[in-house]
Structure 1
Amino acid sequence: MNSERQAPIPSVRWLRPVLTALIFVSSAATAVACPLCYEAAKQMVTIGQQLNTADRVVIARPDGSTSHFRIASAIKGDDADGATIVDPVQGPDGTVPSGCDPCLLIHYALNPHWTALGTMPPEYAAWLRQLIATYRTSGELRRASWPQRLQPSTVLNDAGSRQCISLVLPRLESPDALVAQIAWQELAHAPYQALETVRSRIDAGTVERWLNDPKLASRHATYTLVLGFVGGSADAERLEQKMEAARTSHDATNLAAMIGADLELRGPSRIGWVEATYFADHTRTMPEIEAALLALNVHGEASGTISREQVIEAYRVFIRERPAMAGFVALQLADWNYWDAATEYAALLKSDAVKDPASQFAVVNYLQRAAAAKAALQ
């Protein structure tokens, strides 16, 4: 039984991670987060973004004699070191924080209280100022694509992302938990092409240790991609052993990141393996197929180790191997202004091979855009 019957195709938001990639990564004019490592953080406004949008940021200690805080280091705003904060302080969940000493506090204009983000030693004050400065010089305000986040937030452009990665790289998995969280979030929100900044700047053995730490499971997708840029042939072999185990058990956990890293390590020679393993093998499940397409999509956007042309050829293989799912790659092909699949798509519609309404819509949209592009050329 093929996977088109095994796994029903979603009818509204089909191929969720790939559609996410199209929304969040499409049109490379603006650098945005890489969805391969962004999955764990996708609904999260980063602490760096919060620091940027807050009007006041301080590191403060509780005043033992009162319920107030005394500022140890002013990071942003007009507050002075040594001043007392008399406004209420609460945690992100609205409760009164406990055990936060010293504490990173942020304040938003018109808000009656401060928000405590967690413990932050004062020696990181200069580092936090640098992070905020990166957002102020290299960020742009955009409304979030995610329905859970209705407010605009600042995202870094490609140059800003590279600068930010250089800033946070030494702080990854810092013994100070909040510092480590800030560093990982910034890395996870960087566009894929900006991750190249890590080359020769972090040891592959260190990354492997993080990947073998179950306490860091939520960060493994990000660190897997980092390994793709800093690892060698031995790392690729270990990664491929993990993928083989995942293939046997149909486990799609972090599979997109593993495929993406493997392609970065091995290069175009592995595209045929992706085609044979996930497109031609009809025992694959929907999450596995999604992961393979998402990995290729991100490489196609970056057009680096794996060129966009090579990804397009892989998509053509996907269309031939899985005609019922052909609409899954239609929007991306259109965004890349690739119109040579129009004949195939028209034939698939005529033969009623594409059953899912959302996939049909994607194919029709592709054909309309192809016709418009042809008319514009004429």
Structure 2
Amino acid sequence: MQIPVLSSARISILMLAISALFLVAIEQSLGCPFCAAVGLTFSQEIKQSEAAVIARLVEPPPASALGPNAEGPLPQAKFEVVDVLKGEDLLRSTNLLDANTLIDAIMLEATAPGNLYLIMGIEPPEFIWSNPIAINQRAVTYLKKLEQLPESGPDRLAFFQQYLEDKDDVLARDAYDEFAIAPYDDVRGLENRMDPTALLQWIKTPRIPSNRRRLYATMLGICGTPAYAAEIEKILLGEDLGDDSSDLRSGLDALIACYVVLVGPTGLDLIDKLFLDRSSRDIPFTETYAAVMALRFLGEESETIPRERVLESLRLLLNEPKLADLVIADLARWQDWSVIAKLTTIYVNATPENIFVREPIVNYMKACPLPEAARALVKLREIDPEAVRRAATLAGLAGLTTTTEEDLPTEQPSATPVRLADVVADDVTTDRSMVVSTGSQPAAEGSQPGEGPILQPTNVPSTKSSLRWIFWLVLVVIVAFLSRYLLHSGKRDTAG
């Protein structure tokens, strides 16, 4: 059987798409805390290309090539260059700016000649052209202004703010994506140029997508006043929302953060009651998780909400053993060592339904510099050695610690404990899908922590930094595979 061989052009397009995917993921890890970019911005796409042009459709693809049963190569259309956004010298050297020279680009829709498109190309001089993006004259003006903007900062965002919820969805989407990848400090620097009334109106509009509502709530938290909090409170309470309730409460994490920032520390009392104190009523997990995400943001970014008050809210979830793993890493990261006894009890009393909580508890104890934690850790290992091994493995894979289960000392050392670095992984040590292995059984009630050693925690790298390196590593592996595939394909073609 003959194996189909990818052409070099398709390999190039695939590699570019993969690069774009990882760029989006990396940018999202650094950008707006509650916002996820829908895709690459126009600026990012143009930056990745070697040429970018505004082109007019001259000859659409033949209708016969667009049918569901069409065979053969992908249909192409012909375009004439109207304006150049990037790569003018390259285009001129390949005669693509001559009046009678047209661009051939893949096009999968039937449309009338004369419409304008943004087309980008790579690999000159032959050029591989992207799928054309339909634009209007306002978009042309928009695109021409991009290269004049600062690379980053509030002044850059001030331009895109004009196009949030623009009547042209292409521009509105690009403006949102620019905010989504912008550092929070840049967004905050725009405070005096924001319109809180417009932001609140967008938040209260049901048709607004949840990702955009998150952005507008984040912005309102920056520029709003306590007077706006009453409207956000109605959404949190679900009052008088009618059939639009689920739409208006989408983006709940950002709405919670917005409300607390506007009201101040006392706003957390309502959040505790509505989303975190589960002792008297059932609260949907998604709402509790949204509250935790908001608290993480407040603990890291807010200058007006004391971290100790944030920790007080997080500790409420320790009363719900099935959800305790959501906050244990946060308590460790912010060096809240007040819950050693509480976590030991949760570990000892863990059942098959919440056995996954043991790994993050182990890593909390390892990170804690207090002797009580070291003594507790020895007891935890006696109860469930497999959980301690798993915790060491997970933490090691994430680059969080160099300590393994076998490294745990059995005698009291004389060294002074070392303070924990600022970051402990949020996600790696919290795995609800962990398989319970032999030996991971709930301990008998009444077990208490025994005497044991003092551990010296190691410095841990930033989760965000580790994530970036993981993205690049995966990208390098994929590109290497594709390059090897292309090389072997070329050899087979030559041999044939």
TM-score by length of 1: 0.71
Structure 1, 108-117 or 252-261: larger mean CA deviation: 108-117
Asked if the contact 1:278/1:292 (under 8 Å) is kept, the reply is: yes
Identify the residue that residue 166 of structure 2 maps to in structure 1.
174
SS at match of 2:189: helix
Identify the residue that residue 327 of structure 1 maps to in structure 2.
325
> Percent of aligned pairs with the same residue?
23
Task: Give the alignment partner of residue 63 of structure 1, picking from 58, 62, 69.
Answer: 58
CA 1:305–1:161: 2 relative to 1, 3 Å: farther
CA 1:65–1:112: 2 relative to 1, 3 Å: closer
Task: Give the alignment partner of residue 270 of structure 1, picking from 251, 263, 267.
Answer: 267
SS at match of 2:234: helix
CA 1:108–1:195: 2 relative to 1, 3 Å: same
1:303 and 1:314 mapped to 2: Cα distance?
15
Asked if the contact 1:231/1:265 (under 8 Å) is kept, the reply is: yes
Note the C-alpha offset of 1:83: 5.1
Identify the residue that residue 5 of structure 1 maps to in structure 2.
none
Letter in 2 for 1:98: T
1:54 and 1:246 mapped to 2: Cα distance?
49
1:98 and 1:323 mapped to 2: Cα distance?
59
2:358 and 2:110 mapped to 1: Cα distance?
52
Task: Give the alignment partner of residue 121 of structure 2, picking from 87, 100, 107.
Answer: 107
SS at match of 1:268: coil
Identify the residue that residue 306 of structure 1 maps to in structure 2.
305
Identify the residue that residue 84 of structure 2 maps to in structure 1.
74
2:143 and 2:154 mapped to 1: Cα distance?
21
Residue deviations 1:289-335 (CA, integer Å, cap 9, x gap):
0111111111222132324343223212332x323311111223334
1:364 and 1:129 mapped to 2: Cα distance?
51
Asked if the contact 2:264/2:305 (under 8 Å) is kept, the reply is: yes
Letter in 1 for 2:307: R
CA 1:244–1:258: 2 relative to 1, 3 Å: same
Letter in 1 for 2:116: P
CA 1:245–1:298: 2 relative to 1, 3 Å: same
Asked if the contact 1:102/1:119 (under 8 Å) is kept, the reply is: yes
Aligned residues: 318
Note the C-alpha offset of 1:246: 6.7
Note the C-alpha offset of 1:261: 1.1
Confirm whether residue 195 of structure 1 aligns to residue 166 of structure 2.
no
Identify the residue that residue 111 of structure 2 maps to in structure 1.
98
Task: Give the alignment partner of residue 221 of structure 2, picking from 211, 228, 241.
Answer: 228
* Structure with more relative contact order (C-alpha pairs < 8 Å, separation 6 or more): 1
CA 1:51–1:225: 2 relative to 1, 3 Å: same
SS at match of 2:131: strand
Mapping of residues 1-378 of structure 1, within 5 Å: 32-38=30-36, 41=37, 44-63=39-58, 67-78=77-88, 79=91, 86-90=102-106, 95-96=108-109, 98=111, 101-109=115-123, 112-121=128-137, 122-130=140-148, 134=151, 160=152, 162-218=154-210, 219-245=212-238, 251=246, 253-281=250-278, 282-319=281-318, 321-352=319-350, 355-370=353-368, 373=418, 375-376=455-456
Asked if the contact 1:87/1:114 (under 8 Å) is kept, the reply is: no
TM-score by length of 2: 0.56
2:148 and 2:340 mapped to 1: Cα distance?
49
SS at match of 1:63: strand
Note the C-alpha offset of 1:101: 2.9
CA 1:83–1:267: 2 relative to 1, 3 Å: farther
2:329 and 2:345 mapped to 1: Cα distance?
17
2:343 and 2:46 mapped to 1: Cα distance?
47
More helix by share: 1
Asked if the contact 1:324/1:353 (under 8 Å) is kept, the reply is: no
- Aligned CA-pair RMSD: 3.5
Letter in 2 for 1:203: D
SS at match of 1:180: helix
Unaligned ranges ≥5, structure 1? 1-23, 135-159
